[in-house]
Amino acid sequence: AQSVTQLDSQVPVFEEAPVELRCNYSSSVSVYLFWYVQYPNQGLQLLLKYLSGSTLVKGINGFEAEFNKSQTSFHLRKPSVHISDTAEYFCAVSEPSSASKIIFGSGTRLSIRP
């Protein structure tokens, strides 16, 4: 069965500093991988996704993620964060055979300090 582990429940960083949010997955087959963001009192919004092809995926708001099959990871990065990036970030995984069903991680709260 597939699962997702987000190692950090909270990540505090200073404004304009780089950030990396870690995500590891477990699956016995090929996977689709996603990062969603949830701003306060809102639903989730897709940042980026990996389906196939290039392992470096670029998303909205300057975020990118790299799929590493050998390490079963899909870490999210941004070179310079802004106050507006303060939110909860969720990594998620699905399998092509049941692609409409995705499993979410427990989330990482990114807090930006001025």
Q: Which residues bind another protein (CB under 8 A)?
A: 4, 9, 32, 36, 41-46, 49, 51, 90, 92, 94, 96, 99-102, 104-107
d(CA 108, CA 21): 7
Q: Phi first, then psi: what are they for 66, rounded to 5°? A: -120, 125
**Smallest separation, CB 103 to another protein (Å):** 8
d(CA 110, CA 87): 6
Question: Which residue number, 97 or 114, has a Cβ lying nearer to another protein?
Answer: 97
**Smallest separation, CB 16 to another protein (Å):** 27
**Smallest separation, CB 21 to another protein (Å):** 13
Instruction: With beta carbons less than 8 A apart as the criterion, state whether 22 and 73 touch.
Output: yes
